Structure 1
């Protein structure tokens, strides 16, 4: 048997270090890609850039946001699901591609099970807004007015969107039949409501707050669990007694499912650290987002709940995208 000398031990430790520590360091020097399924300037892109900028500063590692836009985030989701599970490719998953798409498409090029959840980052709540031509000043008045309309129309940002099924949640909570008017773009939907062509819309807080403050639209209620700081005089549906109308879009970080747990944990810790930064919080809140910042396990609980509630809303409409 070979005698273990001090030199042998040192050489052995050096070889072990080269096989474990150095690859990790090399991996750390590679840019981390964050795939975002929506164009630059959209809400998911805004969150991605604000959060990863701070993560890059804290970690000393470059993050690259790649916009792979199209099909409501599903193109990016399919690409991310097939990426190498080495921690160098992350995905900004959203309510659209994770909570809604699996319920309305018979075939997807990915599954929610293809991803390991890292951290739930933010919610973006909705505001029920009406044009000035609608006389209702409260949700109660709006419901009374809506029940006299045959049919009752509300705008959406497109079929299968959170606003589409948000209408279903609201309508189901009050026993009202609402016909959604699906616009091709966000700009078209906003024009439709601003002009009074359609008498209502669930608009994201990140987009709608300024229209309300400018007096171009009237806010009747918000879908957040409590009032929004930006619109403190507007009640929440929860306080008005409509718990079914409490909903929000959301964005979070995920990675291919086989990514090592140690890598996922590290990124989760860094994401939460970034979200605790005062400057990051100010930017996100000013943009209309409600900060979450969860652990991996907490994100899993949220994802299951969101998958179920949006699935119920989608089934209640009978809508299928294919």
Structure 2
């Protein structure tokens, strides 16, 4: 799930490092350099989350902590690498809902098993999606867009790839409203956004971080967000539940996991360090500015949520009739 926002995120990524609480080498953490592997390229929303987290943890790891961007295969390359890494706390994955919860239901031959091959450290942040349409359409709000889309045969809905949250959100919307919708899958975020802005597709579910700048600039109209309630970044836009679409209450979440077999004391040390880093007001403020919700959910509650999400997405995938990718 790529959530690129190049211009706006570029400034955030170039900003000075966060000021983390002063601390020496955190007890129990590795005294060797650590890699935080990420299945997304630089300049994306997940990359911003990773780099803010690294800044917050830097003083706890004097030996070094770096983001290692390994995009490809919808994040599967990065996940597979971490799944096969030594369980010594020096290689971690900042994974997302696609890699950790959706992938088993969307890929027939996944080179890793999320719940088997990873140990939870904790959730870091989450972000809602927004249904957006080109400003050129005569649809100022969700009701108008629904009426307009109902008369289209078909209405084209863009996605950032088959088997992604945006794809399933579009499928659920079409099912809930009985739309004759056709998904148009794009490999590159830029291509999808260009097609949307040009009116080649008439709707798309994109993360708030991606679409909000275009909405503020008047190039897109935000019709609905997918969280349980309205959000500060787009306060005038109704949430899915408010719009009578509770099935569309979905989000992208990002969590830190380690290779399975990592010793429990080491996992506990990482969990404590991440929780402390996430308490920094500057980190939380910058995540919020980009449209993310800082969550800092600990290992145990995250593990429970993770299992529930895996089951939920398996049901969603089956309900949409999606055929697993090779």
Please report the TM-score for the alignment, with normalisation by the length of structure 2.
0.87
> Is 1:165–1:310's contact at 8 Å kept on the other side of the alignment?
no
Report matched runs for 1:1-322 at 5 Å: 28-58=30-60, 60-112=62-114, 113-315=116-318, 316-322=320-326
Give structure 1 stretches of 5+ with no counterpart. 1-23
> Is 1:120–1:253's contact at 8 Å kept on the other side of the alignment?
yes
Q: Secondary structure at the match of 1:303?
A: helix
Deviations 1:155-185 (A, max 9, x none): 1111122211111222233333421011221
Q: Which residue is equivalent to 1:13?
A: none
Q: Name which one, 1 or 2, has greater alpha-carbon Rg.
A: 1
> Is 1:119–1:296's contact at 8 Å kept on the other side of the alignment?
yes
- Classify 1:177/1:313 alpha carbon distance in 2 versus 1 (closer, same or farther; 3 Å): farther
Give structure 2 stretches of 5+ with no counterpart. 1-25
| C-alpha RMSD of matched pairs (Å) | 1.8
- Classify 1:276/1:199 alpha carbon distance in 2 versus 1 (closer, same or farther; 3 Å): same
Q: Secondary structure at the match of 1:249?
A: strand
> Is 1:225–1:246's contact at 8 Å kept on the other side of the alignment?
yes
> Is 1:169–1:245's contact at 8 Å kept on the other side of the alignment?
yes
**1:59 positional shift:** 5.0
Deviations 1:253-277 (A, max 9, x none): 0001100111111111211221221
Deviations 1:81-101 (A, max 9, x none): 111111111111111212222
Aligned residues: 299
Q: Secondary structure at the match of 1:226?
A: coil
Separation in structure 1 between the aligned mates of residue 167 and residue 132 of structure 2, nearest angstrom: 14
> Is 1:166–1:313's contact at 8 Å kept on the other side of the alignment?
no
Please report the TM-score for the alignment, with normalisation by the length of structure 1.
0.88
Separation in structure 2 between the aligned mates of residue 25 and residue 239 of structure 1, nearest angstrom: 46
Separation in structure 2 between the aligned mates of residue 267 and residue 71 of structure 1, nearest angstrom: 28
